[in-house]
Amino acid sequence: MDQRLKAKQPNPEIAKKFERLEWDTNFRERKTTTDYLANALRIAIYDGQFDDNEELNQVELAEFFGVSRVPVREALRQLQAEGLVQSIAHYRTIVSGMSLSQIIESIEMRATLEAHLLRKASKKLDRGALKAIRHICTEVDNIKDYGSQWVLKNWEFHRALYARSESPSIIDTVERLHLKIERYLRRTGGRERLRQAAAEHRQILNALEQKDFGKASTLLEKHILNSGEVIRWQYGATDERLTDKGSRDTKAGTRRRKSFAERPD
């Protein structure tokens, strides 16, 4: 499906959630309507455009994409099989969430696996590879918020570190973990964490350029765990949940939308 037939006057709130469709070339590949919708919803959820437990309104989605509710329902079934959404009473569908303990465990797994991958790949990173990583760092330095551009460039940086590890199964596991937790990193990260993360990228690159591969691996593991500590602090500092913008919900004149799953840790 190369082009969407959007509603004449699309809901601006829905349009904002899917603004990545306008510039991400991955959405220009030819797909069936159902696969296109499933991919658009999947990426929007991974990007944190939908809060945990937020309802995915089939009527609004069908109107926005200019399709019937049939392919929307089929797309939601795909996401339910992947564990991204769940069905509740009265044929409603909501975004699935993770508890704090699940988020932290996923981050710890990712940190351990990525450090291992870098140890395997580091000696194979030649001058050209290091130059490419340095270029990514420069691009990251110019990003000012945790938007989709940060998500893509951050992922590009990490992939460049371990791409030559020749461990496709471990890489697949790492990237699945990355997708699961990225939305929580964006929700809790502010400008200060953004600046710190970019500096940590530079420290990892410097260690690689100095051929201190052990140090680079240790710095990478610490870099990922640092993000986990930000989530732990934000989540544990109060019983209030965090919104997708990183601010705490209030009861005064706002609709209560909780970001994290309400099941206990």
CATH number of the domain encompassing residue 56: 1.10.10.10
pLDDT of residue 121: 97
* In-domain check, residue 232: yes
- The per-residue pLDDT for 25 is 60
- In this structure, the answer to whether residues 139 and 229 fall within a common structural domain is yes
Query: Does 180 share its domain with 81?
Result: no
Q: Last residue of some domain: 54, 75, 95?
A: 95
Query: Are 111 and 210 members of one domain?
Result: yes
Chosen domain end from 95, 117, 137: 95
Query: How many domains, in total, are found in the chain?
Result: 2
> 96-148: per-residue pLDDT in tens?
998 899 999 999 999 999 999 999 999 999 999 999 999 999 999 888 777 77
Structure tokens at 237: 């500092």
Residues 255 and 29: their CA atoms lie apart, in Å, by 37
* The pLDDT of residue 143: 84
171 with 107, same domain: the answer is yes
Residue at 262 is within a domain: no
Shared domain for 40 and 120, answered yes or no, is: no
181 and 144 inside one domain:
yes
Mark whether 64 and 111 lie in a shared domain.
no
CA distances from 98 to 15, 53, 197, 259, 260 (A): 25, 10, 23, 10, 7
Q: What is the pLDDT along the chain (265 residues), one digit of tens a residue?
A: 444 444 445 677 777 777 766 666 666 665 789 999 999 999 889 888 898 999 999 999 999 999 999 999 999 999 999 989 999 988 899 999 988 999 999 999 999 999 999 999 999 999 999 999 999 999 998 887 777 778 789 889 999 999 999 999 999 999 999 888 888 887 776 778 888 999 999 999 999 999 999 999 999 999 999 988 988 887 765 444 444 433 333 333 333 333 333 333 3
Residues 105 and 75 in one domain: no
Is there a domain that residue 223 lies in?
A: yes
Residue 242 lies in a domain: no
Domain of residue 138: give its range. Answer: 100-236
pLDDT at 260: 34
Judge if 232 and 105 occupy the same domain: yes
CATH at residue 119: 1.20.120.530
Enter the pTM of the model. 0.74
Residue 93, beta-bridge partner list: 87
DSSP letter string over 50-67?
A: S-TT-B--HHHHHHHHT-
Rg (CA), the chain: 19
Same domain, 77 and 104: no
Domain shared by 119 and 211, yes or no = yes
User: 45 in a domain, yes or no?
Assistant: yes
Last residue of a domain, one of 69, 95, 121: 95
86 occurs within a structural domain? yes
Domain contains 18 = yes
